[in-house]
Structure 1
Amino acid sequence: MSDSQKTDVKKYGFIVMHDKRTLYEKEMIGSMSDLVCAQFACTNYVRKIADLATHFYINQDTMQPNISGLILGGHPCIMSTLTGPNMLSPTLLAKVLCCASTINMCKGILADTKYIQQKYLIQKYFDEYMDDTGSCVFGVVKTLKALESGAVKTLMVCEKLDIRKYIVENSVSGEISIRNFDEEEEEENDQEDDDFYFLTDNEESEVQESQFYINSLATKYNSAVEFVTLKSPEGSQFSFTFKGIGGFLRHQLVKENDDKGGM
Structure 2
Amino acid sequence: MENHHNYVRKIEELATQFYMDPTTNQPNAFGLILVGCADFKTKLSQSDLFEPLLQEKILNVVDVYYGGENSFNQDIKLSFEILANVKFLQEKHLIGKYFEEINQDRGTIGIDETFEALHMGAMETLLVWENLEINRYVL
TM-score, normalised to structure 2, is 0.54
**Structure 1 runs of 4+ off > 6 angstroms?**
none
- Residue number in structure 2 paired with 1:81: 43
Aligned to 2:126: none
Question: Is 1:165 aligned with 2:127?
Answer: no
Corresponding position: 1:108 with 2:88:
no
2:114 aligned partner: none
Q: Secondary structure at the match of 2:25?
A: coil
2:29 pairs with 46, 67, 78, which one?
67
What SS class does the counterpart of residue 24 from structure 2 fall into?
A: coil
TM-score (norm 1): 0.30
Q: CA RMSD in A?
A: 2.5
Alignment of 1:198-209 (within 5 A): none
Deviation at 1:113, TM superposition (A): 4.2
- Structure 1 residue 165: Cα displacement: 1.4
2:131 is equivalent to residue 154 of structure 1: yes
Mapping of 1:1-263 within 5 angstroms? 39-102=1-64, 103-104=75-76, 105-114=78-87, 154-155=131-132, 165-166=137-138, 210=139
**1:169-213 Cα shifts (integer Å, max 9, x gaps):** xxxxxxxxxxxxxxxxxxxxxxxxxxxxxxxxxxxxxxxxx4xxx
Take 2:37 and 2:61, find their aligned partners in 1: how far apart are those partners? 10
User: Relative to structure 1, is the Cα distance of residues 113 and 94 closer, same or farther in structure 2, using a 3 angstrom cutoff?
Assistant: closer
Q: Distance in 2 between matches of 1:106 and 1:64?
A: 24
Structure with bigger gyration radius: 1
- Distance in 1 between residues matched to 2:10 and 2:44, nearest whole Å: 10
The residue type equivalent to 1:108 in the other structure is E
Provide the C-alpha distance between the structure 1 equivalents of 2:136 and 2:13, rounded to a whole number of angstroms: 48
Shift of 1:99: 0.2
Query: Which of the pair has the greater relative contact order for Cα pairs under 8 Å at 6+ separation?
Result: 1
Shift, 1:88, TM fit: 1.3
Which blocks of at least 5 consecutive residues in structure 1 are unaligned?
1-38, 115-152, 157-162, 167-209, 211-263
Give unpaired runs (5+ residues) of structure 2: 65-74, 88-129
SS in 1 for 2:82: coil
